[in-house]
Amino acid sequence: MLHLAAAVGVGQSMYEPDYYTGTNNLGTAVLLKLLLQNPVKRLVVASSMSIYGEGLYRSTDGIDLIIDGCERTAEQLKAGIWEHYDGDGNRLAPIPTS
Ligand SMILES: NC(=O)c1ccc[n+]([C@@H]2O[C@H](COP(=O)([O-])OP(=O)(O)OC[C@H]3O[C@@H](n4cnc5c(N)ncnc54)[C@H](O)[C@@H]3O)[C@@H](O)[C@H]2O)c1
């Protein structure tokens, strides 16, 4: 089963948390309760990096190094630098979340 029903809105959910939490969390709980009576083999729920986190990166200098937990500094954010770089200034490449 693929569960895609949701109230969507990253910005609005910040000032209407009761509505978004009620629709998405309680709504999913209602679905899960119904699935107890009508089991499915697999339930796929859509999500995003808000839940998964930043994701993984790989170095681009030929060394196959997987990097987890990249963070942007306040200076990077102020300068609008969204890409990640290693300590030598090489740009990192995003790779699929496992
Ligand atoms: N579009 C994106 O970029 C993106 C990114 C990450 C995750 N998602 C997730 O993917 C899923 C689908 O998103 P979308 O972009 O297709 O949004 P969408 O608004 O097009 O689809 C959501 C659907 O859920 C329905 N819905 C809302 N409340 C409901 C309720 N109480 N009961 C039954 N149905 C209800 C809406 O009518 C709508 O058809 C969501 O869970 C969303 O959080 C979307």
pLDDT in 10s for each residue of the chain, 98 residues: 999 999 999 899 999 999 999 999 999 999 999 999 999 999 999 887 777 778 888 887 766 677 777 888 899 999 999 998 888 888 888 888 77
Residue 79's pLDDT is what? 97
Rounded Cα gap, residues 22 and 13, in angstroms: 11
Q: Where are the domains of the chain?
A: 2-45, 55-95
The residue whose C-alpha atom lies closest to atom 24 belonging to ligand 1 is 5
- Compute the Cα dihedral for 65, 68, 73, 76 and give only its sign: positive
**pTM > 0.85:** no
Instruction: Report the nearest-CA residue for atom 13 of ligand 1.
Output: 4
pLDDT of residue 25: 94
Identify which of 4, 13, 28 to mutate to test ligand 1's pocket (most ligand atoms within 8 A of the CB): 4
| Amino acid symbol at 64 | D
- Give the per-residue pLDDT at 64: 64
Helix, strand and coil in the chain, % to nearest 5: 35, 15, 50
Supply the residue whose CA is at minimum distance from atom 31 of ligand 1.
23
Helix (H) or strand (E) holding 44, with range, is strand 44-45
6 lines ligand 1 (CB under 6 A): yes
The CB of 55 under 6 Å from ligand 1? The reply is: no
